């Protein structure tokens, strides 16, 4: 069964058709379910659901694609994006963005609309920030790591 | 901001799924914003305030 309702899928498809003209790759770092149950070893609670959700999202635009990396099989697959083996599920948006946008955890609830907006921004390489803010960001003297903690509700 | 600047990495972290990170950054309410492990903001922020916090965090790092 689809995670995204038909109504939401139609809305997002229309939004993407207008705002996602350039390609965006969603790079997912996940952990495939182990064939063995090992006491003390935790399965990733939201990995499968996140992969299903992202598959549904990228299907809504011909300019989107999903690349899936299993960190259980290849723990170093996320190194270029600073993703370590315990950071599952997580994904990075690659397009015309200059910096890096990463999501840790399933983008459910309110975060789903954040994801849809971010995909559009990464596709166009532009944001709704004011010119003054953009100028200031272009002149930052050092690296900045912003962590935004959220919950799905 | 991460779309605009090569200097910026922005993480959206689902606090419930990453209790270790939430503990480390003492997340008691959301949205909580932590910049360069130094400057913290609680709640949604107007653009100017957010930018000021980003610049403050960068300057502190440079001053070290």
How high is the ipTM of this complex? Answer: 0.93
Q: pLDDT digit string (tens) for A92-134?
A: 999 999 999 999 999 999 999 999 999 999 999 999 999 999 9
The one-digit pLDDT tens for each residue of chain A (153 residues) are: 799 999 999 999 999 999 999 999 999 999 998 877 777 777 899 999 999 999 999 999 999 999 999 999 999 999 999 999 999 999 999 999 999 999 999 999 999 999 999 999 999 999 999 999 999 999 999 999 999 999 987
- Give the Cα separation of B62 and A140 in Å (integer): 11
Contacts of A98 in chain B (CB under 8 A): 2-6, 8
* Cβ-based contacts of B35 with chain A (< 8 Å): 144-147
Q: Note the pLDDT of residue A37.
A: 75
Can you give the pLDDT at residue A27? 98
Cβ separation of A141 and B62 shorter than 8 Å? yes
CA distance B64 to chain A (A): 12
Give me the pLDDT at residue B64, please: 47
Query: In order of start, what are the domains of chain A with their CATH numbers?
Result: 6-138 (3.40.30.10)
**Minimal CA separation from A35 to chain B, in Å:** 23
Contact flag B9-A100 (C-beta cutoff 8 Å):
yes
The confidence score (pLDDT) of residue A152 equals: 83
Residue B44, chain A, CB below 8 Å: the answer is no
Q: How is the beta sheet containing A144-150 ordered, strand by strand?
A: A64-70, A24-30, A90-94, A100-104, B8-14, A144-150, B32-35, B39-42
- Cβ within 8 Å, pair B30-A150: yes
- Contact partners, residue A3, CB within 8 Å, separation at least 6: A49, A52, A53, A56
Please tell me which of the candidates A103, A143, A151 has its beta carbon nearest to residue B16: A151
Contact B13 A45 (CB under 8 A): no
Which pLDDT score is estimated for A35? 79
Report the distance separating Cα A99 and Cα B35, nearest Å.
Answer: 15
Listed as ranges, residues in chain B with pLDDT below 50 are 61-64
- N- to C-terminal Cα separation, chain B: 24
Scan residues 15-44 of A and list those with Cβ closer than 8 Å to B: none
B63: contact with A, CB 8 A cutoff:
no
CA distance linking residue A16 with residue A113, whole number of Å: 12
pLDDT value at position B60?
Answer: 53
């Amino acid at each position: 069964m689809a995670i995204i309702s038909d109504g939401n899928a139609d809305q997002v498809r229309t939004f993407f058709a207008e705002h996602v003209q350039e390609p965006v790759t969603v790079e997912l770092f996940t952990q495939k379910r182990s064939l063995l149950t090992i006491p003390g070893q935790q399965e990733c609670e939201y990995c499968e659901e996140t992969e299903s959700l992202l598959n549904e999202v990228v299907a809504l635009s011909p300019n989107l694609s999903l690349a899936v990396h299993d960190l259980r099989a290849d723990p170093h697959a996320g190194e270029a994006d600073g993703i370590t083996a315990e950071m599952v599920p997580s994904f990075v948006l690659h397009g015309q963005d200059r910096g890096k946008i990463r999501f840790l955890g399933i983008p459910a609830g309110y975060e789903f609309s954040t994801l849809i907006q971010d995909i559009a921004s990464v596709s166009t390489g532009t944001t709704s920030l004011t010119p003054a803010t953009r100028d200031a960001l272009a002149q930052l003297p050092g690296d900045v790591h912003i962590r935004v903690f959220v919950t799905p509700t | 901001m991460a779309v605009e600047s090569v200097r910026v990495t922005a993480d959206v972290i689902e606090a419930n799924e990453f209790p270790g990170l939430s503990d480390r950054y003492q997340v008691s309410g959301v949205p909580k914003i932590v910049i360069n492990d130094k400057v913290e903001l609680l709640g949604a922020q107007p653009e100017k305030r957010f930018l000021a916090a980003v610049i403050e965090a960068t300057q502190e790092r440079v001053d070290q």
